[in-house]
């Protein structure tokens, strides 16, 4: 995960909650919150537009304003925007659900609530979606099957992601996985989740097939299969269909 920090601010700019997830970046709260406040003031008074995403070098700030509060995630610029927005949505819902209790625990230096910390950690890492899949008995069967396909050399690598950007499993190289995440982000930004399949060839001739697999009464999953350069297109399509149907049979 490439998320560094999470903040909750009042509209006045006062930070009431912060959580750090990385040793790479640590900020002095008294310095960064005036920056957020000035940024929002500038966007509203000068450009009359709400800021949702800001990129500075290798950093990406994602903002959401809700009912008098500003929620901010600070991440690497490589982190998937779809995943970040889904994390914010989940945490915002949690915050307002727990708000009466959190305000009771509010101290001079902000909210201190161990249970809320644990929930935030779980949501930020996407553990809620992984747990849902594991609870249905899908996870172990899927991983075992995909690993078996790789051992048999029917595929070179594979990945399974939710449409919110949570990585359920991956044996892809980091570069290819980042490309897949970027493709998923583009689908999110352009509203093209209904495109069922995407096929492309890498520079070394290897072939990749991405297929959206939707299960009844269940979350949609993005299945990604990587094939070696010698695999014919017809076989790529056939094996992708076989794997997709096999995943459905596990449910």
CATH number of 3-125: 3.30.450.70
pLDDT of residue 92: 93
User: Can you tell me the mean pLDDT for 136-148?
Assistant: 80
User: Can you tell me the mean pLDDT for 18-36?
Assistant: 75
Question: Is 133-249 in the same CATH topology as 3-125?
Answer: yes
Please check the confidence at residue 23 and state whether its pLDDT lies above 80. no
Identify whether the C-beta of residue 95 lies closer than 8 Å to the C-beta of residue 89.
no
Please check the confidence at residue 124 and state whether its pLDDT lies above 70. yes
What residue spans define the domains of the chain? 3-125, 133-249
Q: How confident is the model at residue 46 (pLDDT cuts 50, 70, 90)?
A: low
User: Can you tell me the mean pLDDT for 53-68?
Assistant: 86
| Predicted confidence (pLDDT) per residue in 82-94, tens digit | 888 888 988 999 9
Q: Tokens 């945490």 sit at which residue?
A: 91
In angstroms, rounded to a whole number, what is the distance separating the alpha carbons of residues 183 and 64? Answer: 23
* CATH 3.30.450.30 applies to domain 133-249: yes
Q: How many CA atoms lie within 13 A of 50 on its CB side?
A: 7
């Amino acid at each position: 995960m490439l998320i560094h920090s999470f903040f909750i601010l009042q509209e006045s700019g006062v930070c009431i909650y912060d959580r750090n997830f990385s040793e790479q970046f640590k900020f002095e709260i008294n310095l960064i919150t005036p920056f957020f406040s000035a940024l929002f003031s500038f966007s509203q008074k000068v450009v009359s537009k709400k800021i949702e995403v800001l990129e500075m070098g290798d950093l990406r700030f994602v903002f959401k304003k809700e009912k008098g509060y500003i929620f901010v995630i600070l991440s690497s610029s490589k982190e998937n925007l779809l995943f970040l927005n889904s994390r914010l949505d989940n945490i915002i819902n949690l915050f307002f659900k727990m708000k009466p209790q959190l305000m009771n625990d509010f101290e001079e230096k902000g909210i201190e609530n161990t249970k809320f910390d644990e929930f935030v950690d779980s949501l930020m890492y996407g553990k809620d979606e992984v747990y849902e899949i594991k609870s249905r008995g899908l996870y172990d069967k899927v991983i075992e099957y995909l690993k078996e396909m790789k051992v048999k050399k029917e595929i070179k690598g594979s990945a399974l992601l939710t449409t919110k950007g949570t990585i359920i499993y991956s044996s892809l190289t980091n570069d290819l996985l980042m490309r897949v995440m970027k493709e998923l982000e583009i689908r999110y930004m352009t509203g093209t989740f209904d495109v069922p399949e995407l096929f492309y060839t890498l520079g070394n001739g290897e072939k990749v097939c991405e297929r959206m697999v939707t299960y009844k009464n269940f979350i949609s999953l993005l299945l990604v299969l990587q094939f070696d350069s010698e695999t014919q297109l017809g076989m790529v399509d056939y094996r992708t269909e076989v794997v997709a149907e096999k995943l459905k049979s596990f449910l």
